[in-house]
Each structure stands twice: as structure tokens, then as C-alpha cells.
Amino acid sequence: MTRRRLISAGAVVLVISAALGWLVLYSSALGVNTIEVRGAQVLSTATVTDVLAIQPGTPLARVDLAAAEASLENVTQIESASVSRDWPGTLVVQLIERSPIAAVDVNGTTWLLDRFGVLFAQVSALPQGIVVLQVERPGPDDRATSAGIEVIQALAPAIRSILVRIRAPSLTQIELELTDGRTVLWGDADNSVRKSQILAGLLAGGVVGTAYDVSSPTSAVVR
């Protein structure tokens, strides 16, 4: 190939590369025309779209995915978010919303909190199956909150179904209140799975009492 032809071929390649670069980075032909939201149970697509604040036609290649994920994760109801591109013009948003594990009272209002202790939704009525967690300072950095959540997660389904309230005035004084007014002294959150097994056995075996003490798993007491 002659030198002139090589130069011409190189020029063509440069022109094509520049055109492709412009098409991908600046043209609305490969811009965002759809935002697909997956995993949302409570939040609407409109809410997610408003949070992202990405204008239709914005070149898909220029969308800052990390920034988009960060903006979504600033929404209290969202536990985690993943944003990806689906060419030619779709932005895919995969959400994991926070799920309530308990409810807490904050200055007379009821808040739902998730497995990490994050308060994420204020409610006027307690949802079915959600227990009340009583702690002095509910939140993700509160050790009593974490201990209460650990106990809830360890409970057998038969116990959770009759659980009304967990009180955790301190890390070592956790107490359960059941639907019929019976109480269970739990102690600390250590050995919670074993304590749950012991309590479930006592209840299933018809051991009658108004107060159960499983704070020491090796020597449960019924009064």
C-alpha cells in the first residue's frame, strides 16, 4: 500500500472513531430513554427517577453510575442500590429496600427499623407481625438496639408469632412480653438461639407459668 493510501486510510479511521465517539458521548441517539427499576416494593418508579435527576436523552455513557448509586442510597428506605447500563438507551436500577424487623417509639411517634437498626419509616399503626422494641436510644449505633435485633432474629417462628414486645433497658436485662401477658427474662443476647430453643420447648410442652427465665440456658426457671 502506498504512503498516500495509508494516510487516506488513517484519516478515514480517525473520522470514523471521532464519529463513534461523538455518537456515544454526546448524541442523544444513545441517550437515556428508559429507567428500569427492579426490586422496588414500596418506592415508585417516579420517586426513584426524581432522585436520580437524570434528564431524558443524557448520553448513557456519560451517566456517573457510582454517583447515581450514592444518591439512591441516601434515601432512607433504600438499603442498597446498583445502577447499570443496558444499551442502547436503558438505565437499570436494582434496589434492595429496607425491611422492618421491629418498631420503636421516638417522641411519641412509631418508626420501623431494619436489621441494621436504621429507622426508615414513620407509621401510624403497627404492621401485622412487627414487634415493639423498647430501647432508650434506638439506632444503628446503639448497642441495646443491636442486642434486641439479635434476639428477634434468633427466635423460633412459634415464639415470634406470640411476641408483642422486647424491652432492652440494658445489654444484660433483655425481656420479652408475649401476647397473653407472660414475660420472659432473656438476659443478654448471648446464646439467643439456644435460649429460643429452650423457651419453645417449655411452651410446646405445656409448662404453665406467667414468667420464664432463660437468661441461663442451662437452668431455665418458670414461675
* pLDDT for position 183: 98
Question: What's the pLDDT band for 187 if we cut at 50, 70, 90?
Answer: very high
Q: What is the pLDDT of residues 24-44, one digit of tens each?
A: 444 455 699 999 999 999 999
Indicate if the alpha-carbon torsion angle 78, 80, 83, 84 is positive or negative: negative
Distance between CA atoms of 32 and 125, rounded to whole angstroms?
40
Give the sheet arrangement for strand 102-106, strand by strand: 119-123, 109-113, 102-106, 131-134, 163-167, 174-178, 183-187, 211-213, 221-222
Maximum CA pair distance of the chain? 102
**Structural domains in the chain?**
27-97 (3.10.20.310), 102-222 (3.40.50.10960)
Percent helix / strand / coil, the chain, rounded to 5: 35, 30, 40
Q: What is the pLDDT of residues 92-121, one digit of tens each?
A: 999 999 999 999 999 999 999 999 999 999
Question: What's the pLDDT band for 19 if we cut at 50, 70, 90?
Answer: very low
Residue with more model confidence, 42 or 21: 42
| Cell (9 digits) for 64 | 456517573
Share of the chain above pLDDT 70, in %: 87
Distance between CA atoms of 34 and 176, rounded to whole angstroms?
49
Note the pTM of the prediction, 2 decimals: 0.82
* pLDDT for position 25: 45
Tracing cell 439479635 back to the chain, one arrives at 150
